[in-house]
Structure 1
Amino acid sequence: MPTHRALSQEEAKGPLNVKEVTTASPAALQVQIRIKAVGLNPLDYKQIYDNYRVSEYPWIGGLDLSGVVTEVGEEVTHLQEGDRVATAAVHFIDGQPAAAFQEISSSDANIAFKIPQIVGHDAAASISINYYTAIVGLCLPEHLNLRFPALPHPSNPAPLENLQPDSDAPILVWGAGSGVGKHALQILRIAGYTNVLATAASHYFDSAKALGAKEVFDYKDEHVVKNIRAYLGDAKVLHAYDAISTPNTISKLIEIVNVGGTIATVTPEGQDLLPFHGAAIRRAGIQGAIVISKTNPEHWEFGRRARELIQDWLQYHGDDKRFKYFFNSTYVIPGGLDGGGIQRGLEMLGRNENHGKKIIVKGI
């Protein structure tokens, strides 16, 4: 059996060590990828250091990756060997062969998207988890059910013209300085929503507005809820996306979102708050992006549309700046598997030393 190297954790909260593991062949709807770079996420840190949602040991982590296709499953038609791709490798669903902290990943082909030659693997590895988490929470019918974006196309050269009257309804994104929050703002912008409010630290105000926010509020301000309500006046907020999703952030959103509205969250936090308010709380994290796509044909189709959107978005070179894709700011660490780059990156995440940048480890 062929093998490759992986960064493995043998026991809960134990050290990470490189070892040889069996290389899995891709299943019918999977793609095998030779990984070139990985992006680190807070969930990676929680799994390695807090044993969060780890079902078995030895454990191989990692969620965001980019690389080159080495083999495709027999039912995969949109990819072929040699394609440069990025994807979200959700190993706690697809199994550890899908994980990113190894040389080769075999994972769900439906959300693996091609990357243009002008986009490097470092930048590509910063996209998938943030993007899929955001678009599922915003657009999936059982979450916020907002309009799915459309890019200019010969059959629809001006998709932002003649939109529905709800385009100026207030939508609130909490945590616009995070990678998920930044993608939420961009998705809402290209979908034509013009009255997007956001919270962020004050040094992110300008970037949040550049990404699509009409007004930004400092989440550190003790009067942030009062300030948002004062700005809104009589306007109702029926859609809110919480890109942070702690009990504190959700409790604040419950004070803002009107009865009958919906709050999309990225973690299970806050579910116990639901009975005390007329707003629905929907978990819309990355699990929604992939798990449901495997169990429901409509969700699989949503995943396909989301994949094609990001693939086309990265290649958009038109004159309308509203459709430009803005990459996450990144902090790139060399070292791959052998040089301790992943461990250094995870430690930086734990100390909050990334300062809003996506940590990328190259040289896998």
Structure 2
Amino acid sequence: MTTITTLTTTTTLDEKRPAIYHEELLIEQRQNARITSRTAQTTQTASTPSPTQRALLLHAAQQPYALVSDHAIPTLLHKDEILIKVTAVGLNPIDWKGPAFNFGIPSLPWVNGRDLAGIVVQAPETTSAAPSRLRKGDLVLVPSTDYRDIRKAAFQEYAVATHFNAARIPASSCAHAAASVGVAFVAAILALGVSFGVDFSGIAECPGPNLVDVLGDVDVGTIPADVRDECLASREGIERPKRGDWIAIWGASTTTGLLTLQIARLAGLKTICVADIARHGSRLHAAGADILIDRHDTTRALEIIRGITGNNLRYAIDIVGRETSTLLQSALNAEIRADGSHAHLLGLTGLPKGEQRDERIVYHTVPIKLFHSSPEVGGAMVLWLERLLETRTLVLPEIVRAEGGLEGANGALEVLRRGDASGKRIVLSLE
């Protein structure tokens, strides 16, 4: 039996907003402290777990996950890897869409899962010459973007991660809420900081990296060939957003949308957020959205975007799909500017078909594999995420906490598939 409890988590510097320390979060933080303490006391046992574990296996497309108890615990293969005892798993749409539509599954049987939080039970050796930023007993969150490596999947009791892809969770944060933001954070930061070239270093509240500069120091040959052009697209300064520019986000109530609007505003951009305003307007307003537009009347939504921007919108991000990205494209002013710069459209889950595209617009997809393939980029991103959590700069998504461990995954994914958790993140508790 799966028990699902809604848990609201609001993390912000503005103390006038709802406080994060309500009763349920205090209970969870005490539990996290006890877990960390127990881990420190039993490091030898935790570091050498039994050779098998429980995991969710996908045996065939369009089939539910099967819980097994004899799946091998993954082995560390490289010196920069860590082993994590998983305590929470954030569910993503890909976790049900992949099996349902037979994509993102390298082989069968397979283990899925992209977001996890847990305790480090095996870490790289620490020496004076090679200090490690992560130690046994650290509570971390991991966005598992390297989905072709089954060792790094979240739907198992122990998972491997590369150290530069793991962010420490501060004691002041909720581990289950932190488990919900990893992949969404990666997508938002790569979209803004790499594809569009937004500079995060000037953010007063919590300065971040200038990923264009970080990439400038990376050997181009080490960037995966299929995302190389996207990673280099924002090097031209005239194409990059400037403070005060408008950016439209269609699908702003998603976790990726929520984080994108906040980071964009911190960087000085003005945000237009398209969503179901009746259901999600209050939360988007609390997160700092400049303009809220209801998604139900698309014609009216596009008219409002053009009116607000004086028909001069230059940057847009769609998080929903090809149909809405095609709509959003029509809100852009496609004219090439006098300085030679263009309008930019990024689609996280789809872009207009070839015959529907405007040759004057630059189209983008998120170079997600850059996060796990580049230590320089991945490391800069997780260090910033640690600071954002520590300073409580971000409003985190509202989560729906599903008890019952891995056994409850199929039921929780059905809730996600039906859309009953719209605007929230479902997190499986494995404690």
Count of residue pairs brought into register by the alignment: 336
Aligned to 1:351: 418
Q: Residues of 2 paired with 1:360 and 1:332: CA distance?
A: 5
For residues 161-184 of structure 1, what are the alpha-carbon distances to aligned partners after superposition, in whole Å with 9 as ceiling and x for unaligned? Answer: xxx992111111111111100000
For residues 76-127 of structure 1, what are the alpha-carbon distances to aligned partners after superposition, in whole Å with 9 as ceiling and x for unaligned? Answer: 822111100001123523x111100100010232121000112232111111
Aligned to 1:137: 191
Q: Residues of 1 paired with 2:241 and 2:65: CA distance?
A: 53
Offset of 1:147 from its aligned partner?
1.9
Q: Residues of 2 paired with 1:165 and 1:12: CA distance?
A: 42
Q: Using a 3 Å threshold, how does the CA distance of structure 1 residues 192 and 227 change in structure 2: closer, same or farther? A: closer
Max radius of gyration: which structure?
2
Q: Using a 3 Å threshold, how does the CA distance of structure 1 residues 91 and 59 change in structure 2: closer, same or farther? A: farther
Query: CA RMSD, aligned part only?
Result: 2.4
- Corresponding position: 1:148 with 2:148: no
C-alpha contact 2:114 2:147 (8 A) present in aligned 1? no
- Corresponding position: 1:276 with 2:358: yes
Question: After the TM superposition, which residues 18-37 of structure 1 pair with which residues of structure 2 at under 5 Å, given as runs?
Answer: 18-19=67-68, 20-26=70-76, 27-37=78-88
For 1:71, give the aligned amino acid. Q
Offset of 1:209 from its aligned partner?
2.5
Q: Residues of 1 paired with 2:67 and 2:348: CA distance?
A: 31
Question: After the TM superposition, which residues 12-161 of structure 1 pair with which residues of structure 2 at under 5 Å, given as runs?
Answer: 12-19=61-68, 20-26=70-76, 27-73=78-124, 77-93=132-148, 95-140=149-194, 143-149=195-201, 152=204
C-alpha contact 1:258 1:278 (8 A) present in aligned 2? no
Which stretch of structure 1 is more off in the superposition, 351-360 or 115-124? 115-124
For 1:36, give the aligned amino acid. T
Q: Which runs of 5+ in 2 are unaligned?
A: 1-49, 209-239, 335-341
Q: Using a 3 Å threshold, how does the CA distance of structure 1 residues 208 and 281 change in structure 2: closer, same or farther? A: same
| Structure-2-length-normalised TM-score | 0.73
Offset of 1:151 from its aligned partner?
5.4
For 1:45, give the aligned amino acid. W
For residues 129-165 of structure 1, what are the alpha-carbon distances to aligned partners after superposition, in whole Å with 9 as ceiling and x for unaligned? Answer: 111111110111xx11112255558999xxxxxxx99
Aligned to 1:190: 266
**SS in structure 1 at match of 2:243:** helix
Q: Which runs of 5+ in 1 are unaligned?
A: 157-163, 318-323
Q: Using a 3 Å threshold, how does the CA distance of structure 1 residues 150 and 14 change in structure 2: closer, same or farther? A: same
C-alpha contact 2:370 2:377 (8 A) present in aligned 1? no
Q: Using a 3 Å threshold, how does the CA distance of structure 1 residues 120 and 165 change in structure 2: closer, same or farther? A: closer
Q: Using a 3 Å threshold, how does the CA distance of structure 1 residues 46 and 155 change in structure 2: closer, same or farther? A: closer
The partner residue of 1:216 within 281, 284, 292 is: 292
Percent sequence identity over aligned pairs: 26
- Corresponding position: 1:248 with 2:300: no
**SS in structure 2 at match of 1:256:** coil
**SS in structure 2 at match of 1:60:** coil
C-alpha contact 2:56 2:67 (8 A) present in aligned 1? yes
C-alpha contact 1:188 1:212 (8 A) present in aligned 2? no
**SS in structure 2 at match of 1:185:** helix
Q: Using a 3 Å threshold, how does the CA distance of structure 1 residues 197 and 273 change in structure 2: closer, same or farther? A: farther
C-alpha contact 1:10 1:59 (8 A) present in aligned 2? yes
